[in-house]
DNA sequence: TAGCTGACTTTGGTTTATCTAAGTCAGCCG
DNA sequence: CGGCTGACTTAGATAAACCAAAGTCAGCTA
């Protein structure tokens, strides 16, 4: 595996899933909007205010998130109000939650306030705190130091 | 818990671990440099070339990553060359790998090339593919839909 | 039907991220 | 001791992200 890594060169740039993911969620405001969506925020100005971004930015990013299929618009109606659209996470958006959990976990460990984290994410069924963990398909817990990188089927050689 | 989320308003902005983490790694090039570091890249121009960014950007981001303690400079010497510094992941940097694994996993699922992913991340000990998973402290696997958000100790009320 | 409200859009300007191209500089090699 | 090489830095320019303030507009409510 070491040889593989030493020999490789610019192939990663061409087909890297991390880079592709970052084209969709590779900026601060997008990830914070997804955080809000995961907390149940659904309305335009709640998104803008709670994330702390301006309305034009919120509008552009939310539009992009809908176009990319991470959020969907769903009509709803509050009593005494007219029909509106609310933004709801799709399955594609929900599957990004491990990224957010992992980011929060890192922030809790390395950049937290003295008072501790402001939120706690629990397992709905049992109330225990939830973490993002690495695990292999053989069922072992894996630490960051135990990762090996190998060529995959989509590897493009120079 | 629903009441909690409905009542909360601008508290999250002030002390959010995700936002804090994103201040450090909230841009594309930083995360891609960390990807490279996790693949074992150590030298300046390898970083720049493999990530596909210009040298000025690579220099600035690497400097920032060292200042933030995610990478450290370690002197090394190749035979017939002078002493240089190489960039190596610290523990603080390694603990971000779950974020990268989760991002790659999402990219593999939702934005992959037809040919499949270009790399495969394995458990060093057993060779099985590694995934980022959500798990609660009671030991249950948790799906993104089973997450509950609750106030934490550092929660600031408006 | 006039007004209010939520959900944006428009305008104009600043900051941040990025690029290319060229320059610096330290120290081993010959 | 003079040149080469790797590791940056500087300069100048463009593109992307963001902001505040004001404007638009649809459709309930009164």
Q: Which nucleotides of C are covered by protein (CB under 7 A)?
A: 6-12, 17-22, 27-29
Is A149 in contact with B39 (Cβ distance < 8 A)?
yes
Q: How many residues does chain A have?
A: 158
Cross-chain CB nearest to A152 (options B27, B120, B149): B120
Q: What is the 3-state secondary structure (H, E, C) of B91-104?
A: HHHHCCHHHHHHHH
Tokens of B110: 């939702």
What is d(CA A76, CA A4) in angstroms, rounded to the nearest whole number?
Answer: 53
Distance between the alpha carbon (CA) of A3 and the C1' atom of D17, Å: 40
Instruction: Tell me which residue of A55, A50, A18 sits closest to A34, measured CA to CA.
Output: A50
SS3 B13: helix
CA-nearest residue of chain A to B16? Answer: A118
Q: What is the pLDDT of residues A52-111, one digit of tens each?
A: 999 999 999 999 999 999 999 998 877 777 788 899 999 999 999 999 999 999 999 999
What is d(CA A67, CA A10) in angstroms, rounded to the nearest whole number?
Answer: 31
Per-residue pLDDT, B25: 96
Q: What is the pLDDT of residues B27-78, one digit of tens each?
A: 999 999 999 999 999 999 999 999 999 999 999 999 999 999 999 999 887 7
Q: Are B50 and A10 in contact (CB under 8 A)?
A: yes
Q: Are A8 and A152 in contact (CB under 8 A)?
A: no
């Amino acid at each position: 595996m070491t040889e593989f890594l030493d020999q490789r060169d610019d192939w990663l740039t061409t087909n890297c899933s991390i880079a592709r993911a970052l084209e969709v969620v590779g900026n601060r405001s997008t990830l914070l909007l997804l955080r809000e969506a995961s907390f149940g925020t659904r309305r335009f100005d709640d998104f803008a205010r709670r994330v702390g971004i301006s309305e034009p930015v919120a509008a552009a990013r939310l539009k992009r998130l809908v176009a990319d299929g991470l959020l969907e618009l769903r009509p709803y109606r509050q009593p005494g109000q007219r029909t509106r659209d609310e933004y709801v996470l799709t399955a594609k958006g929900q599957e990004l939650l491990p990224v957010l959990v992992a980011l929060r976990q890192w922030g809790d460990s390395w950049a937290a306030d003295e008072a501790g984290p402001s939120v706690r994410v629990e397992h709905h069924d049992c109330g225990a705190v939830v973490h993002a963990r690495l695990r292999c398909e053989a069922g072992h817990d894996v630490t960051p130091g135990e990762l090996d990188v190998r060529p995959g089927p989509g590897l493009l050689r120079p």
